[in-house]
């Protein structure tokens, strides 16, 4: 797939990414939050189904850093990219935190979407975090678990450094994969303020039950794919899908948090089936 790089200025912030492929317009939203975009192989795999726009979200190189870092600001950036590309409506395809962001777009700006495809997405209910952290800790040494907890506490307190966030990703990254030979390297850069403030915004929306209330009115196709061995609990996906009338879910066996890397054939086939069933 030939990819065309772009730079788009949004309220004084330059967002950098690339676009390419053939199919329905789609905006790809990476997880993290506050890590560089890593969804190029996903876009390649979905070529023919979607013409994709990929970018690194504000706060992390190669995109610029400038507050605010909130759910609302990230959603506004996503819509500004569609405007810059001349796209009236597109699929929002999000992974992990990016899937959660896609759901906020579905709840707040459905007129700009064709539908959402959420891949191992952080769901509408923050109550899964305890189980998620416990799953990440399995197989780690006591020292690694203690350090993981310490770094997460420093992030929540707003005193963490980029080196510490990179270290945290390095500790937990192997837990996202069943087959580590298919793993991509963990992030080497993390936007510190973007990570701190985006996660605070997430917590505020969980408290307000924004998605639990807003998704019940959704009337667009909502498709969910989830790796069966993902440390993020499957119930994060199934409970969220149950909020949306007509939402469809497919699980992919023998893979973790990145199904397009570990089971590319099964992932593509699952997306094709979901699209066919959604009409």
Taking each continuous run of H as one helix and of E as one strand, the counts in the chain are 11, 8
Give the whole-angstrom CA distance, residue 42 versus residue 96.
13
Domain 3-278, classified CATH 3.90.950.10, yes or no: no
Any idea where the domains of the chain sit in the sequence?
3-278
Give residue 233's pLDDT: 97
Mean per-residue pLDDT, 89-106 = 98
Give residue 12's pLDDT: 83
For residue 214, pLDDT beyond 90: yes
For residue 1, pLDDT beyond 90: no
Phi then psi for residue 193, to 5 deg, are: -65, -35
Mean per-residue pLDDT, 215-237 = 97
Give the whole-angstrom CA distance, residue 260 versus residue 117.
13
Give residue 63's pLDDT: 98
Average confidence score pLDDT of the chain: 96
- β pairing state of 24-29 and 50-55: parallel
For residue 94, pLDDT beyond 90: yes
Q: Among residues 96, 124, 125, 111, which one has the least CA distance to residue 220?
A: 111
As a three-state string, the secondary structure of 217-229 is HCCCCEEEEEECC
269-274, long-range: CB < 8 A, 24+ apart: 270/225, 271/46, 271/49, 271/117, 271/223, 271/225, 272/49, 274/117, 274/223, 274/225, 274/248, 274/250
Give residue 101's pLDDT: 98
> pTM, whole model, 2 decimals?
0.97
Beta bridge partners of 94: 29, 118
Give the whole-angstrom CA distance, residue 275 versus residue 264.
17
% residues pLDDT > 70 (the chain) = 100
| Alpha-carbon Rg for the chain in angstroms | 17
pLDDT tens digits, one per residue of 236-248: 999 999 999 999 9
Question: Where residue 279 falls among pLDDT bands split at 50, 70, 90?
Answer: confident
pLDDT tens digits, one per residue of 150-207: 999 999 999 999 999 999 999 999 999 998 888 999 999 999 999 999 999 999 999 9
For residue 28, pLDDT beyond 90: yes
């Amino acid at each position: 797939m030939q990819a065309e790089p772009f730079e788009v200025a949004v309220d004084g912030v330059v967002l950098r990414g690339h676009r390419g492929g053939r199919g329905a317009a789609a905006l790809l939203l990476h997880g993290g939050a506050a890590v560089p975009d890593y969804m190029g192989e996903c876009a390649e795999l979905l070529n023919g189904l979607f013409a994709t726009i990929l970018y690194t979200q504000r706060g992390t190189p190669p995109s610029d850093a400038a507050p605010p870092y909130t759910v609302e600001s990230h959603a506004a950036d996503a819509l500004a990219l569609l405007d810059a590309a001349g796209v009236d409506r597109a699929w929002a395809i999000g992974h992990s935190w990016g899937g959660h962001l896609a759901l906020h777009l579905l709840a707040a700006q459905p007129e700009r979407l064709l539908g959402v495809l959420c891949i191992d997405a952080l769901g509408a209910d923050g109550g899964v975090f305890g189980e998620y952290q416990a799953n990440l800790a399995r197989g780690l040494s006591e020292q690694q678990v203690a350090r993981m907890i310490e770094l997460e506490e420093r992030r929540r307190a707003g005193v963490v450094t980029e080196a510490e966030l990179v270290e945290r990703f390095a500790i937990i990254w192997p837990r996202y994969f069943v087959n580590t030979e298919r793993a991509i390297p963990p992030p080497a850069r993390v936007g510190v303020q973007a990570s701190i403030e985006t996660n605070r915004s997430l917590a505020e929306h969980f408290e307000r039950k924004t998605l639990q209330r807003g998704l019940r009115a959704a009337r667009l196709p909502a498709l969910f794919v989830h790796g069966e061995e993902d440390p993020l609990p499957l119930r994060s996906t199934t409970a969220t899908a149950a909020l949306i009338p007509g939402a469809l879910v497919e699980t992919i066996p023998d893979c973790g948090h990145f199904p397009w890397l570990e089971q590319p054939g099964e992932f593509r086939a699952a997306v094709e089936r979901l699209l066919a069933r959604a009409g």
